Structure 1
């Protein structure tokens, strides 16, 4: 199987291949030829220079590498080409099994407007919003019809917060439209954006789905991904807490219903926004791939999602029923980025001179870091994920705080220090937060003295 990715997810897939008795072939750019993933793979193929456009984002080079190595299957991980229908189609045309949905299903699910229309057709709430905007005049007319500021402009293609702009006043609409459309065009090659009402107090809840070729669709519970900065998730948890049971049940049912309507096959995540003031929810998008935060779901269910992806691609039926899925305890994941929070979260590439993350019962670390590892400047700054599992949320948060406090990283700055501060924050540790808590409450209230007194080892200096 070709592993068409890098970093911690490449390591994760390679280990799943080992568990399944599958030979792993890893593609790397010139910048990653000495990475931990390259050391673990059975075979390594350098497909291009450091530039992602000439390596990890090149469909032709990725597929040719799979053919040259005699690969039967290809796992895209997340990011890069993982949600590009062109890669899926190229695999289908060359007899390579793509670990994921078909090209057509990926096209439908990857376009937010198409996915929202599908959700609406099966009765899933999507909220008031437009069906797509082509120019500024369309935006003005749509905003007048909605008449419910604040509004949110969103890119139809892609995700990760790119192309998203909050508009709080009609005078700011044109500037916001131009900003969103331009950013979407640069990031995804598609400048189409749409409008929807902005929910002031929201929680980001997502449901993990697995579906096989035999018509079986199961959910593995939900995750709370409300700890965000600039729409980028920083901390994820499973399951959600503090939401009405009936509301959670409806969200899970909606995710399964959408997967069935799409004839989905593989692992997927349905994302929803919960309005905490009204105990209601709306559909956001469906991600046709494994998510960064999948380990928290694995921790509370015992299901290995990557191995299930592989088995589904082999044509096997899911080995468990919905009744077999038991959510046990609580899990928390911290995304560790090579960034300096005290300098506006600027990336900090470099060589890691010390990497020590304590591990033990209920602690898991997904990473490509080790002593001497290099964090290249060309890619995403995510370098590790620390996942803890405990009987209760309170115990999980406390355990994560202990792990972060005892972590030792030198050579680069990381987000470990600020995530420790979050774990110790009384609001976070005792109350379910909303998507704007980090930016509007925690970060503004974080004093310079707190940052200055943080132990240097936990700050990664």
Structure 2
């Protein structure tokens, strides 16, 4: 087992990883930018080292600075969390080259699955259903339009190396295609330093269902059930729950086996997520694979009783999976709400500033993952997520009641938040009935 691990991240996920390391008796090393000098993860870690100024490009995305910090502190492994460098194949490769274990899949696996066209080809070989789309990436708008006509409108324009809802546009017809393509292309170049695009058939009113998988270096792969991530705003997840009310046992088993087959086809190791779209007829299609731990991993932890961060670390250290598929049991229902510093009434504009007062909920079946505290200064340089509020109940109805209570109790003053927006979602009659799809927020809240 590792003696010392560096966390190449910030915010609540850095805090989450530090706590897991502490429980495992492993020394933790935090890195921070000048803007994060007073962030909670710097206080909780055994060691903390400044890696640069506030802009992420000069700190959390600077591979040389992070690797230098790891070498200087004697860290044997790096946990990348999510976002930043977590799915960067070059960073994973550089870690290996300097003798530091990257807690995640191998660099070549990240490269293969990060390219949507190559990931699609891999799944087709494994006979996993895929969304009709282009066989390779495209850069030219004229070529892309020809391919879009072949696929058939409406189409989804996606950054080939993208993720997190960035570099994505829906084109309903030939008339709006060029504008959407160029906009998505510009976003891709800015966000991922690559403007290769990918065209696929747009599945209308689908469910976004993802399966958590875990794999070790001995060829063992298990899935840990599914999460329903259909509540989204502009392709960004807002609320997640597990298990999905939409799946019956037969479809759940079929999709779970497909997820495991997909991971094996990719030669996958460590934690990952197979994302599917499921249409109204319950046909499912592989969408993409996220080669990292997910923001929403706590709902899976609630219903399985597993600590996914600890399992990641054990697998990276060369241990076998602690469970087999038959050991995985689903217990109850969990829901997660992402609480952000943003103003829903002003098109969700970020709301940086100082937290003047706060109260966080608690009680049986309530979990809060966060890095904020009273008098904490929210920086304008990073993601606006303040905390994740997760609840667990014996049933979906009980979980909804717990979330309603927890959202009603939480107080964060000094900045705008989306607490009330989440409260409206959890109390929406269609949500309560389970009548949801990826267009839920757009329809219910009349948003573009």
TM normalised by structure 2 equals 0.97
Asked if 1:104 is matched to 2:108, the reply is: yes
Match of 2:192 in 1: 188
Instruction: Note the residue ranges of structure 1 that are not aligned, 5 or more in a row.
Output: 446-461
Query: C-alpha separation between the residues in 2 aligned to 1:336 and 1:30?
Result: 24
What SS does structure 1 have at the residue aligned with 2:446? helix
Query: C-alpha separation between the residues in 2 aligned to 1:266 and 1:135?
Result: 36
Measured after TM superposition, the shift of residue 140 of structure 1 is 2.0
Asked if 1:67 is matched to 2:79, the reply is: no
Measured after TM superposition, the shift of residue 244 of structure 1 is 3.2
Query: C-alpha separation between the residues in 1 aligned to 2:131 and 2:30?
Result: 42
Match of 2:396 in 1: 393
Measured after TM superposition, the shift of residue 58 of structure 1 is 0.4
Measured after TM superposition, the shift of residue 195 of structure 1 is 1.3
Asked if 1:27 is matched to 2:31, the reply is: yes
Measured after TM superposition, the shift of residue 263 of structure 1 is 1.3
Asked if 1:150 is matched to 2:165, the reply is: no
Q: How many pairs were matched up?
A: 442
What SS does structure 2 have at the residue aligned with 1:26? strand
Matches within 5 A, 1:34-433: 34-131=38-135, 132-146=137-151, 148-276=152-280, 278-433=281-436
CA offsets 1:219-271 (integer angstroms, 9 cap, x no match): 00000000000000000000111223322222111110011111111000010
What SS does structure 2 have at the residue aligned with 1:378? coil
Query: C-alpha separation between the residues in 2 aligned to 1:435 and 1:376?
Result: 30
Measured after TM superposition, the shift of residue 151 of structure 1 is 1.2
Query: C-alpha separation between the residues in 1 aligned to 2:174 and 2:398?
Result: 46
Contact 1:203 1:434 in 2 (8 A): yes
Measured after TM superposition, the shift of residue 174 of structure 1 is 1.4
Contact 1:247 1:280 in 2 (8 A): no
Contact 1:271 1:286 in 2 (8 A): yes
Query: C-alpha separation between the residues in 2 aligned to 1:161 and 1:97?
Result: 29
Measured after TM superposition, the shift of residue 170 of structure 1 is 1.1
Q: Give the one of 420, 430, 446 matched to 1:444.
A: 446
Match of 1:459 in 2: none
RMSD: 1.0
What SS does structure 2 have at the residue aligned with 1:312? helix
Measured after TM superposition, the shift of residue 199 of structure 1 is 1.1
Instruction: Note the residue ranges of structure 2 that are not aligned, 5 or more in a row.
Output: none
Contact 1:330 1:393 in 2 (8 A): yes
TM normalised by structure 1 equals 0.94
Measured after TM superposition, the shift of residue 93 of structure 1 is 0.7
Measured after TM superposition, the shift of residue 136 of structure 1 is 1.3
What SS does structure 2 have at the residue aligned with 1:24? strand
Query: C-alpha separation between the residues in 2 aligned to 1:139 and 1:197?
Result: 13
Query: C-alpha separation between the residues in 2 aligned to 1:160 and 1:101?
Result: 19
Contact 1:355 1:369 in 2 (8 A): no
Measured after TM superposition, the shift of residue 90 of structure 1 is 1.0
Contact 1:241 1:432 in 2 (8 A): no
Measured after TM superposition, the shift of residue 75 of structure 1 is 0.3
